[in-house]
Amino acid sequence: MTRDRDVPALARRLLRAVLPLDQASAIEGDLLEELRSSAGAPRRWPRAWLSIQALRLTGAALGWLMMRRLSATIRLSLRDAWRVTRASPTTSALAVAVIALGIAAATVTFSVVDTVVLRALPFEHSDRLIVISGETDRGPIPLVSAAEYVAWRDQLQTAEVAAWTYRLGRLQRGDDKRIIVSLIATPEFLKVLRAAPALGPGFSERDDNADVDPVVISDALWRGFFNSDPRIIGSTISLEGQTVRVTGVMPPGFQFPDGPERIDLWRRYVPTAEERSLSAGRSSSLRIIGRLRDDHSLTAARSEIEATSAALAAAHKDLFGGWRVRVTMLKDSMIGAVRGWMLMVLWAVALVMTIACVNVANLLLARGAARSRDLGVRSALGAARWQLVASLLTESLLLAAVAGGAGILVAALTLDLVTASLPAGIARAGHIAIDTRVLIAAMAMSAASGLLFGLLPATQSSRVDVASLLRSGGAPSVGDRRRRVRTALLVAQVAFVVVLVVATGLVVGSFARVVWTDLGFDPAPIAAYRVGVALPAGASPEAQRAAIAVARTRALDEARAIPGVTGVALSAGGAVPFASGSTTMLAVPPGAPDQSSIPIDSLWVTSSYFDVMAVPVRRGRVFDDDPNEQSVMLDEHIAAQLFGEADPINQLMTLRGYPQPYRVIGVVASVRPQGPEQEIVPRAYFPIGPRLIGGFDLLVRAANRPDVAAAALAELPARWSGGMRGINKPVVLRDQWRRLTASRRFSAGVMAALGVLALIIGAAGIYGVMSAVVTQRRREMGVRAALGATAARLVRETLADAGRWLLLGAGIGVAAAWAIGGVLSSLLFGVTPRDPLIYALAVALLLIVGLIAAWLPARRAGRVDPLIVLRTD
Amino acid sequence: MAPAPPAALRDFELLVLLAVLGLKDDAYPVSIRDAIEQRTGRAPSRAAVFITLERLQEKGLVTSTFGDPTPVRGGRAKRFFRATRSGIAAAQQAVDQVSAMTAGLDAVLKRR
């Protein structure tokens, strides 16, 4: 045995540092024995081998010991935490409730935002899908005409495009009838989405020559209406009285998120030559979806699309006045409007969560103060500070875990309720669920909140001065420092609450402004029904005119007979309010060169229109229903634009492309037919009488129950003949208006709920701190009461303390809201992000709530009995 | 009070415990590792044997004592391990469970 055959000194020292000497020595012996035993092969580098083996064993021993120590610490901490949690059930329950509410709110919000805003669309390379639409200075125009579609389809190198629209239709097979939603799309539609039927060939090039139109049906329709008929492909069905052939069944669950919520059937649409040529005017009724080709970027596609569109617009200046093309990613276009307020709600929830955490931190700090004796004893018995922190943190993590579980449960129970109350038309709303992603986020949130609200109390409470604790005989003493921390937490909490209440005020204020905006007409009592009139083919204009006149009169008469209806009118050439679609004509201002013209939204109406829609007549008169009248009524906007200061009545208005001028006989109020948040649409009204157009909108005014009137309207087509039919379903404008304002109503409701929640949590926090303050200062107050201070004075002084903190917090909150309010500006309407009234109201509300919360414990200050206080000391 | 049921064993813990039982009074890390290698054909790492023995000791299934120093070990003592009564019970239970589960599987498992 030579000396160099021993375990090298360094390895030996390390091993002995980790393990007790006898154990380390036994291991060294094992290694030396192995090295010398005949069984082992002779080793080339005995010293190196010994060192390596000893180091590996050192590492293993170290890992083992640390694991054991850690698991023991966790076990002990959990045991302690459970004991403490049970020992002060009120604090624990309060903390759990506050955090659970926060986590529930955050979980629900996150699951909604995650599904709607954050996830990818369910299409192959969905990040390549784009939407092409238009806009003018007045706002976005989602629909384009067939001419633009054809130009883009034929000319674009950077993108492939498809056009689509949808409508309701009646499907018939034998005696079975069903109202279905059909998506009417150009043949490239499914290819652009990279989707294909699960059954059948779908649409193909050969369809162009087929005598029977091909359609593709949804899986749900196939199963529900056709009983999963395996021979469906190739069979014919009757759609709107027309025979079509089923050439495909889409895969189950296939949806087109930008379209209607349910699609039963896909139908091919090929624009007619007339539609392409713009010879009959520009009728915009199509939506465009596209896919970027190859590696082309959105920017490249946008500039190509803009160039193509500019060429088209230059060739038809009169029809494209003020129109610009707009290219967006599909996802942005789908969630564009929703994204902003969803993220705002998410931030608001995060703020509520922070307020809740600060609140619970304060609660735990109070409990930590009560436990200083317990902690002091543990410290005196040799517990290190980190062990105290660990055990205090474990307490808060335990609370957070319980709260997280409860919060997720509450979220799961309320999610359906929340998704049901979401405004209609939010893409993918039906897919919102609590899934793995959401669960992971919720659990991470719980853990983070546990750390957030636990860390400060843990570090503060573990700061135990054993000597002074023992001197004071074990009575809990609360240092100035801890009180300062609690006050700072209170001020922070108040500041957060103010920020949230201000945001709530801005959002709710915007909603109020939207509701109060004057639309220029009164949608509330109106029901509308679009009526189509098929004109007899090959008939003379006189015969057609007669047929139209009969249809109009009949619709008016029958609608007037509906009980509760107080007025009926017709309009044509545009859409009913809150729906899209318009006819633009070009007015040439008097004395202006022929090239300059003003685009005017034009509507052909009966003279009753203004009474029925409650559009005030400002000057002049309403036209007669004389079919030959060559007169027009303008709104104030366009009248001023055309004729300036001069009296517009009896002036002549020239329209580009129309030889005969129109005489202005009346001026009416300007309207916002697209809703309160859209600009005024300058509009001219022509008498519907002479207009040779088949379809029209039947408008009825039923002050009490427009919904009942709408139902009665839906009954009318059953009695009609002569090519008259109802298109889609009657609409109730009040419902349309509600739908239009649904996002605002929803976000205002959510923000109001969160604001109230924040106020309640904040009030609870103020109550808690003031209670503690009063308890701690009982002795001082007793002395002062003995020296003659009145009860009222003691209460007043306590309230003044609270008021100072409230004001400080409010000041910080106002400054913060002032600084960050700008991010909300795109979501606001009619209020600025720094609206002083809303700030003042928010601060006033907070002061009132805060002072009430402080007053309850402050009353106790006035009731301090000096005799009892002084006797107990 | 009824005696606590024998502790459940992990695979490798059972191998080490059986080796300790088989080596009777001569069970120390080197011999334990050799025994496992001879019987199973695979040598476990020294660290695994060390940690497993520590864990078995913590569970109260083995105890350890130090022997006398020997020259071949550079004057170091051996650390001998012995199975406790609950160690024997735990091994018994684990082996019973395995044989209960393997009964009737001769054809499938091709026992040698």
Q: What is the pLDDT of residue A251?
A: 85
Report which secondary-structure segment, H or E, holds B53. Answer: helix B46-58
Q: What is the pLDDT of residue A610?
A: 93
Distance CA A460, CA A441 (A): 29
Say whether A29 and B74 touch across the interface (CB within 8 A).
yes
Q: Which tops the pLDDT comparison, B64 or A468?
A: B64
> Three-state SS for B51?
helix
Distance CA A135, CA A309 (A): 12
| Nearest-CB residue to A64 (from B34, B51, B73) | B51
Q: What is the pLDDT of residue A532?
A: 82
Q: Determine contact, residues B32/B19, Cβ cutoff 8 Å.
A: yes
Q: Determine contact, residues A749/A425, Cβ cutoff 8 Å.
A: no
pLDDT winner (highest mean) among A207-211, A266-270, A564-568, B103-107: A564-568
Q: Is A347 exposed, middle or buried (0-12, 13-18, 19+ CB in 10 A)?
A: middle
Q: Tell me the pLDDT tens digit for each residue of A299-331.
A: 999 999 999 888 888 888 777 777 888 898 887
Q: Tell me the pLDDT tens digit for each residue of A749-770.
A: 888 988 998 898 888 888 888 8
pLDDT higher than threshold 90 for residue A784: no
Q: What is the pLDDT of residue A556?
A: 92
Tokens of B92: 């018994």
Say whether B72 and A23 touch across the interface (CB within 8 A).
no
Kindly report the pTM of this predicted structure. 0.66
Give the best residue of B73, B78, B80, B81 to mutate against chain A (max A CB count within 10 A).
B73
Q: Is A89 exposed, middle or buried (0-12, 13-18, 19+ CB in 10 A)?
A: exposed
Mean pLDDT of chain A: 83
Q: Give the phi and the psi of residue A712 in degrees, each rounded to 5.
A: -65, -35
Is ipTM > 0.90 here? no
Say whether B47 and A34 touch across the interface (CB within 8 A).
no
Q: What is the pLDDT of residue B29?
A: 93
Q: What is the pLDDT of residue B27?
A: 93
Q: Tell me the pLDDT tens digit for each residue of A670-689.
A: 888 878 877 777 889 999 87
Mean pLDDT of B30-59: 91
The alpha-carbon gap from A805 to the nearest alpha carbon of chain B, in Å, equals: 56
Q: Determine contact, residues A830/A509, Cβ cutoff 8 Å.
A: yes
Distance CA A7, CA A10 (A): 9
Q: Determine contact, residues B6/B95, Cβ cutoff 8 Å.
A: no
Mean pLDDT of B61-85: 90
Q: Tell me the pLDDT tens digit for each residue of A517-567.
A: 888 889 889 999 988 887 766 778 788 888 888 888 999 999 999 998 999
Mean pLDDT of A69-89: 78
Q: Tell me the pLDDT tens digit for each residue of A16-44.
A: 988 888 899 999 999 988 888 755 555 67
Q: What is the pLDDT of residue A3?
A: 45
Mean pLDDT of chain B: 86
Q: What is the pLDDT of residue A176?
A: 76
Q: What is the pLDDT of residue A2?
A: 44
Distance CA A766, CA A359 (A): 9
Distance CA A23, CA A34 (A): 17
Chain A residues touching B51 at Cβ < 8 A: 60-61, 63-64
Q: Tell me the pLDDT tens digit for each residue of A802-824.
A: 899 999 999 999 999 999 888 88
Mean pLDDT of A785-812: 89
CA distances to A322, A528, A734 from A704, rounded to whole Å, are 41, 15, 12
Say whether B70 and A59 touch across the interface (CB within 8 A).
no
Chain A residues touching B50 at Cβ < 8 A: 27, 57, 60-61, 64
Find where tokens 């092409």 sit: A132
Mean pLDDT of A476-495: 78
Q: What is the pLDDT of residue A261?
A: 67
User: A129-133, A175-179, A262-266: which range is least confident on average?
Assistant: A175-179
In eight-state DSSP terms, residue A472 is T
Chain B residues touching A28 at Cβ < 8 A: 73-74, 76
- Residues of chain A above pLDDT 70, percent: 91
The alpha-carbon gap from A25 to the nearest alpha carbon of chain B, in Å, equals: 6
pLDDT band, residue A496 (cuts 50/70/90) = very high
pLDDT higher than threshold 70 for residue A490: yes
Q: What is the pLDDT of residue A336?
A: 67
Q: What is the pLDDT of residue A469?
A: 63
Distance CA A335, CA A330 (A): 9
Mean pLDDT of B7-26: 87
Mean pLDDT of A474-494: 74
Say whether A26 and B76 touch across the interface (CB within 8 A).
yes
Q: Which tops the pLDDT comparison, A119 or A340?
A: A340
CA distances to A433, A785, A787, A864 from A867, rounded to whole Å, are 62, 9, 12, 9
Distance CA A342, CA A588 (A): 45
Please indicate if any CB of chain A lies within 8 Å of the CB of B72: yes
Tokens of A771: 């209670």
Q: What is the pLDDT of residue A236?
A: 85
Q: Which residue of B has its CA nearest to A3?
A: B74
Say whether A22 and B77 touch across the interface (CB within 8 A).
yes
Mean pLDDT of A460-488: 68
Q: Which tops the pLDDT comparison, A461 or B90?
A: B90
- Residues of chain A above pLDDT 90, percent: 15
Q: Tell me the pLDDT tens digit for each residue of A698-747.
A: 999 998 888 889 888 888 888 887 678 887 788 888 888 887 787 788 88
Chain A residues touching B49 at Cβ < 8 A: none
Q: What is the pLDDT of residue A205?
A: 64
pLDDT higher than threshold 50 for residue A123: yes
pLDDT band, residue A385 (cuts 50/70/90) = confident
Q: Which residue of A has its CA nearest to B55?
A: A64
Q: What is the pLDDT of residue A501?
A: 94
Q: Which residue of A has its CA nearest to B30?
A: A30
Q: Give the phi and the psi of residue A662 in degrees, each rounded to 5.
A: -110, 140
Q: What is the pLDDT of residue A38?
A: 57
Buried b vs exposed e over A779-798: b needs ≥16 C-beta within 10 Å?
Answer: eebbebbeeebeeeebbebb
Other Cβ atoms closer than 10 A to A868: 10
Q: What is the pLDDT of residue A844?
A: 94
Q: Give the phi and the psi of residue A246 in degrees, each rounded to 5.
A: -80, 120
Q: What is the pLDDT of residue A817?
A: 92
Please indicate if any CB of chain A lies within 8 Å of the CB of B46: yes
| Nearest-CB residue to B73 (from A29, A59, A61) | A29
pLDDT band, residue A280 (cuts 50/70/90) = low
Residue ranges of chain A whose CB lies within 8 Å of a chain B CB: 1, 5-7, 22-23, 25-30, 32-34, 36-37, 39, 53, 56-57, 59-61, 63-64, 68
pLDDT band, residue B6 (cuts 50/70/90) = low
Distance CA A334, CA A130 (A): 10
Q: What is the pLDDT of residue B1?
A: 42
Say whether A64 and B76 touch across the interface (CB within 8 A).
no
Tokens of A152: 């883009």
Distance CA A608, CA A565 (A): 13
pLDDT higher than threshold 70 for residue A428: no
pLDDT band, residue A849 (cuts 50/70/90) = very high
Distance CA A518, CA A513 (A): 10
Q: What is the pLDDT of residue A263?
A: 84
Q: Determine contact, residues A423/A742, Cβ cutoff 8 Å.
A: yes
Q: Rounded to the nearest 5 degrees, what angle is found at the Cα of B54, between the Cα atoms of B51 and B58?
A: 135
pLDDT band, residue A426 (cuts 50/70/90) = low
Distance CA A190, CA A391 (A): 60
